């Protein structure tokens, strides 16, 4: 339960880009008190969380000792490692700490083994677990659901993610997506990415009262016609420089919900992927037809607002998740979410 007279005590799990944004936010917002930080890195063990996040020291040091963090008194963990570890998630939930994460458990299937384990851990610890993120986790789930309220009839909802990766540093993730690889390899790994998005499509469908007959997916790949120099290195001629991943939920024989991710290293690719800045577009076809676009406002200083959107989509839910009854809590179970302390 949240005690309104004191800040919510939070642990930051991992200190990558998303973790550092959260540490800076916990330091600036009096609705939170940072009480612990986990790191996988021996080099960061013992470092002050403020130093790791590029701000003044906070007097909270990062540790590689999971047991130390399991033992402390905290209300919630913002869990943001590179990839999830179910044993860690179970241990945190069993230790009495609620967990929020942008790692893609937006609408877990009830019969999935992971779901069963997480639900049992929540019951044992009297805790709740919630997953968000900008996409999957927000744009095509709660944002699209709220947007649907403006319509009297819907024929189709199309959610498009545009990400320009040309300024992104080299990472395992870019290679896993297929950038710089042969088009055949990108096609081979395509289906692996379906799960996280299909959960978000499933949540939107369930929220709209639809039963999905089946999911379909497709991939369009564009290769570079020259050696392309980007922040992560060189995309050699003939290798993947852009892609459109498309997932569809078929309801009563027709394509009711479409999610497409248009990811690129350059504009004007062939075949055309998409031009322009990173953004999210939610299109409602029906009565009336409506388009919402989420994009960086030029007045902002953030070069990567998507990272802040990702971190804050779950951090701003922490008070509601702490107050929620035990169990996996999706956007369909939680209140709309009231952000605390943002005008700091
Ligand atoms: N749903 C969404 O919209 C969305 C959007 C963006 C990102 N994400 C997810 O959010 C998570 C964090 O993203 P990020 O941009 O902060 O990533 P990042 O900058 O690469 O940081 C990830 C951190 O994970 C830790 N780590 C390193 N190796 C690891 C390993 N083998 N296993 C587990 N953790 C390891 C490290 O923390 P330490 O240095 O402290 O050890 C690393 O800094 C990722 O899983 C990403 O997929 C979701």
Provide the mean pLDDT of the chain. 94
Nearest CA to 291 among 108, 96, 159? 159
CATH number among 3.40.720, 3.30.70, 3.30.360, 3.40.50, domain 139-295: 3.30.360
Q: Is 205 in the pocket of ligand 1 (CB under 6 A)?
A: no
Q: Measured in angstroms, how far is the CA atom of residue 81 from the centroid of ligand 1?
A: 4
Nearest CA to 52 among 4, 2, 17? 17
Spell out the domain ranges in the chain: 8-132+317-328, 139-295
Q: Is 103 in the pocket of ligand 1 (CB under 6 A)?
A: yes
pLDDT for the residue 195: 64
Map residue 216 onto helix, strand or coil: strand
137-152 pLDDT per residue, tens: 999 999 999 999 999 9
- φ, ψ (nearest 5 deg) of residue 331: -60, -25
CB 101 within 8 A of CB 124: no
Q: Measured in angstroms, how far is the CA atom of residue 313 from the centroid of ligand 1?
A: 16
Nearest CA, atom 35, ligand 1: 82
Q: Is 20 in the pocket of ligand 1 (CB under 6 A)?
A: no
What is the atom index within ligand 1 of the atom nearest the CA of 309? 3
208-241 pLDDT per residue, tens: 999 999 999 899 999 999 999 999 999 999 999 9
pLDDT for the residue 193: 58
Q: Is 134 in the pocket of ligand 1 (CB under 6 A)?
A: yes
Q: Measured in angstroms, how far is the CA atom of residue 17 from the centroid of ligand 1?
A: 7
Nearest CA to 276 among 152, 193, 163, 177? 163
User: Is 8-132+317-328 in CATH node 3.40.50.720?
Assistant: yes
pLDDT mean over 105-110: 94
CA 132 to CA 138: how far, in whole Å?
Answer: 6
Is 139-295 in the same CATH topology as 8-132+317-328?
A: no
CB 8 within 8 A of CB 35: no
Nearest CA to 11 among 86, 92, 85? 92
69-99 pLDDT per residue, tens: 999 999 999 999 999 999 999 999 999 999 9
CA 205 to CA 307: how far, in whole Å?
Answer: 26
CA 195 to CA 84: how far, in whole Å?
Answer: 14
Q: Measured in angstroms, how far is the CA atom of residue 152 from the centroid of ligand 1?
A: 40
């Amino acid at each position: 339960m949240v005690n309104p007279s004191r800040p919510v005590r939070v642990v930051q799990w991992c200190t990558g880009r998303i973790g550092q944004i959260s540490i800076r936010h916990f330091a600036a917002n009096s609705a939170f008190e940072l009480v612990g930080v986990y790191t996988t890195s021996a080099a960061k063990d013992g470092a002050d969380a403020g130093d790791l996040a590029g701000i003044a020291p906070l007097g909270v040091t990062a540790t590689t000792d999971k047991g130390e963090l399991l033992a402390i008194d905290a209300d919630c963990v913002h869990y943001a490692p590179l990839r999830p570890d179910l044993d860690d998630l179970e241990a945190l939930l069993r230790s009495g700490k609620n967990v929020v994460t942008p790692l893609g458990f937006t609408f877990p299937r009830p019969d999935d083994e992971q779901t069963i384990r997480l639900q049992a851990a929540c019951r044992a610890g009297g805790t709740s677990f919630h997953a968000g993120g900008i996409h999957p986790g927000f744009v095509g789930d709660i944002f699209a659901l709220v947007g649907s309220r403006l319509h009297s009839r819907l024929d189709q909802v199309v959610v498009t993610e545009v990400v320009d990766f040309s300024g992104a540093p080299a990472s395992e993730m870019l290679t896993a997506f297929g950038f710089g690889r042969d088009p055949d390899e990108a096609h081979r790994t395509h289906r692996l990415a379906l799960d996280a998005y299909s959960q978000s499509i499933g949540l939107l469908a369930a929220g709209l009262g639809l039963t999905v007959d089946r999911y379909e997916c497709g991939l369009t790949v564009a290769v570079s016609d020259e050696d392309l120099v980007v922040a992560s290195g060189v995309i050699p001629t003939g290798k993947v420089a852009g892609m459109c991943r498309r997932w569809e939920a078929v309801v009563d024989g027709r394509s009711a919900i479409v999610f497409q991710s248009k990811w690129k290293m350059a504009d004007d690719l062939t075949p055309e992927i998409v031009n322009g800045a990173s953004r999210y577009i939610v299109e409602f076809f029906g009565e009336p037809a409506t388009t919402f676009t989420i994009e960086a406002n030029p007045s902002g200083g953030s070069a990567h607002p998507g990272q802040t959107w990702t971190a804050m989509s779950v951090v701003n839910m922490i008070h509601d998740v702490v107050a929620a009854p035990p169990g996996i809590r999706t956007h369909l179970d939680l209140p709309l979410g009231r952000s605390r302390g943002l005008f700091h």
